[in-house]
Structure 1
């Protein structure tokens, strides 16, 4: 049993330390991802806790993380990183050899179908495939080779709302 170093979040709201009390970390990650059914469990995120954090006292957020959404049979994976100047970039993660021309065609539904994301075919992972990517991220804070990253345009998140006034 190790001192927890990472935080996991389920469905964007339930957070806690990722622990190896029941099974080793790689098996715990795989188990968690295989529980995803798109309904009661539809999103899973992971990030490193700040150095020295007491995860029994508080569960801090991070601006850098890996996340997925969907079902154990079809997950979309993303990673968020910060540049040295603090600028955030979010990327879809894909398997090697995928083509990103044209528009993405694979629709991943989650939250009982209330939400979806559309990705390229090589960006759809099973829970077991995703567990390998997540465990490497757990160890290194990176998405390793041979996986590909496609930057997502999230400018709509920071765009000023229209007022409708002229």
Structure 2
């Protein structure tokens, strides 16, 4: 057992320190992702706690994190990174060697179908594949090779392509 360094969150609500008391970290991450059913458990996030944080006292949020939504059979993974100047970037993670021409076509429903995300086919992961991505992030705070990143437009409100001019 080691001191927890990361916080995980279920469905944007319940937070707890990621611990290795019952199973090693890679297995704990895989276990959490494998429980996702798209209905009662549809989102999971992971981020590093601040250095020296007492996770028994407080579970602070971090502006940099990895998150996923969907079910153990089909989920999408995103990572958020903040530049030194404070500019935030959010990316969908994909597997290598894919064609990204055209619009995304794969719909990942979550929250009992109340929400969905549309991604490219290479951006759909199952729990086993996602566990590898999350564990590497746990170790390094980065998305490793050979995975790809597609930056998302997080501006709000979204521009209406019908009225947008060049």
TM-score of the two chains, using structure 1 as the length reference: 0.94
Structure 1: stretches of 5+ with no match in the other structure: 160-166
The answer to whether the aligner puts 1:108 opposite 2:108 as a matched pair is yes
Deviation at residue 155 of structure 1 after TM alignment: 1.0
Q: Mapping of 1:8-47 within 5 angstroms? A: 8-47=8-47
Deviation at residue 99 of structure 1 after TM alignment: 1.4
Deviation at residue 100 of structure 1 after TM alignment: 1.2
Q: Distance in 1 between matches of 2:157 and 2:66?
A: 18
The answer to whether the aligner puts 1:54 opposite 2:54 as a matched pair is yes
Structure 2: stretches of 5+ with no match in the other structure: 160-166
Alignment RMSD (CA, Å): 1.1
Counterpart secondary structure, 1:155: coil
Note closer, same or farther for the CA distance 1:24–1:3 as it changes in structure 2 (3 Å cut). same
Please name the residue that 1:162 is paired with: none
Q: Distance in 2 between matches of 1:157 and 1:46?
A: 27
The answer to whether the aligner puts 1:131 opposite 2:131 as a matched pair is yes
TM-score of the two chains, using structure 2 as the length reference: 0.94
Counterpart secondary structure, 1:122: helix
Q: Distance in 1 between matches of 2:102 and 2:26?
A: 35
- Superimposed CA distance per residue, residues 49-82 of structure 1 (whole angstroms, 9 cap, x where no aligned partner): 0000000000000100000000000010000000
